[in-house]
Amino acid sequence: GQNIDQPTEMTATEGAIVQINCTYQTSGFNGLFWYQQHAGEAPTFLSYNVLDGLEEKGRFSSFLSRSKGYSYLLLKELQMKDSASYLCAVRDLNSGAGSYQLTFGKGTKLSVIP
By CB under 8 A, the count of residues binding another protein is: 22
With b for 16 or more beta-carbon neighbours within 10 A and e for fewer, the 50-78 pattern comes to eeeeeeeeeebbbbbeeeebebbbbbeeb
Binding-site member from 39, 42, 67, 114 for another protein (CB under 8 A): 42
Rule CB under 8 A: is residue 97 a binding residue for another protein?
Answer: yes
Cα–Cα distances (Å) from 69 to 3, 41, 87, in that order, read 10, 29, 16
Rule CB under 8 A: is residue 109 a binding residue for another protein?
Answer: no
Rule CB under 8 A: is residue 60 a binding residue for another protein?
Answer: no
CB nearer another protein, residue 41 or residue 77: 41
- Give the interface segment with another protein, choosing from 14-22, 58-66, 67-75, 96-104 (CB under 8 A): 96-104
The distance of closest approach from Cβ of residue 114 to another protein in the complex, given in angstroms and rounded to an integer, is 27
CA atoms within 13 A on the CB side of 24: 31
CA 84 to CA 86: how far, in whole Å? 6
Applying CB under 8 A, the residues found at the interface with another protein are: 30-31, 33, 41-45, 48, 87, 89, 91, 97, 99-107
